[in-house]
Structure 1
Amino acid sequence: MAAFIKAVNAKIRSNPTVSYFCSTHFWGPASNFGIPIAAVMDTQKSPELISGTMTGALTIYSATFMRYSLAVTPKNYLLFACHFINCGSQLTQGYRWIQYHKWGGREESLKVQAESGLVGAVGRVEMEAKALADKAKGVVDK
């Protein structure tokens, strides 16, 4: 059995492309791509949900591993791309967090919500008043 495994491994390692796809240089970054995909998708969510501490930690983590991916031999460009995307999306999330929590975004959001709620309430009252007026007009016309 050991000879069979050794033969299969030798066959895999003889082809550079197959060898790459069967290595940790490929599968490490490929499995790690879930983090930047989630971070990019999170840019569409409310900035109220962003954790500033976690965003900062993930930015430092990504920057560290971007450096590491170029320090190893051979250079791992797939790992670099994964962490480059993650670092960019975490910086975007960090900007959104600062803008919302420190630069007045929360107050602006609450103001817009209050105004839209007020307009909605006034609109509902107007519609109900119009319906009642139409109903009263129908009763008077009889």
Structure 2
Amino acid sequence: MATFISALNAKIRSNPVLSYVCSTHFWGPVSNFGIPIAAVMDTQKSPELISGTMTGALVIYSATFMRYALAVQPKNYLLFACHFVNEGSQLTQGYRWMQYHKWGGKEQMEKLKAEEGVKGAVSKVEEVAGGALEKAKEVVGK
């Protein structure tokens, strides 16, 4: 059995593409791509859910590992790409957090919610009043 595994390993390592796909230089970044995918998807969510502290930490983390990906031998461009995407999405989230919490976005959102609430209440009152008017016309018409 050990001979079979050794022969299989030698066969895999003789092919450069298979050797790369079976290495940690490939599977590390592939498994790590969950972080930037989640970060990109989070850009569609409300900015009030963003943690400024975590976003700042992830900006530093991604920048550090972008540098690391180019410092190791051989250079790991897949890891670099993973952290490059994450850096961009975290910087976007950081901007959204600053916009919401520091540059007046929260007040604008509350103002819009209040306006929507007033419009909803007015339309509900108009609906009830219209129904009452129809009922009054029926009663007067009899």
TM-score relative to the length of structure 2: 0.98
Alignment of 1:50-129 (within 5 A): 50-129=50-129
Distance 2:72 2:123 in 1: 64
Question: What secondary structure does 2:75 align onto?
Answer: coil
Moved more, 3-12 or 65-74: 3-12
Query: Displacement of 1:6 after TM fit?
Result: 1.2
Identity in percent: 77
**After TM superposition, where is structure 1 displaced by more than 3 Å over at least 4 residues in a row?**
none
Task: Give the residue type in structure 1 aligned to 2:17.
Answer: T
Question: What secondary structure does 1:103 align onto?
Answer: coil
Distance 1:68 1:5 in 2: 33
Query: Displacement of 1:110 after TM fit?
Result: 0.1
TM-score relative to the length of structure 1: 0.98
Alignment of 1:12-31 (within 5 A): 12-31=12-31
Q: Structure 1 regions of 5+ residues with no counterpart?
A: none
Distance 1:4 1:126 in 2: 81
Equivalent in the alignment of 1:40: 40
Give the CA RMSD over aligned residues. Answer: 0.6
Task: Give the residue type in structure 2 aligned to 1:120.
Answer: G
Distance 1:66 1:29 in 2: 11
Distance 1:53 1:64 in 2: 17
Distance 1:89 1:136 in 2: 59
Q: Structure 2 regions of 5+ residues with no counterpart?
A: none
Distance 1:5 1:34 in 2: 31
Query: Displacement of 1:139 after TM fit?
Result: 1.2
Distance 1:35 1:141 in 2: 68
Question: What secondary structure does 2:103 align onto?
Answer: coil
Distance 1:2 1:90 in 2: 47
Distance 2:104 2:17 in 1: 52
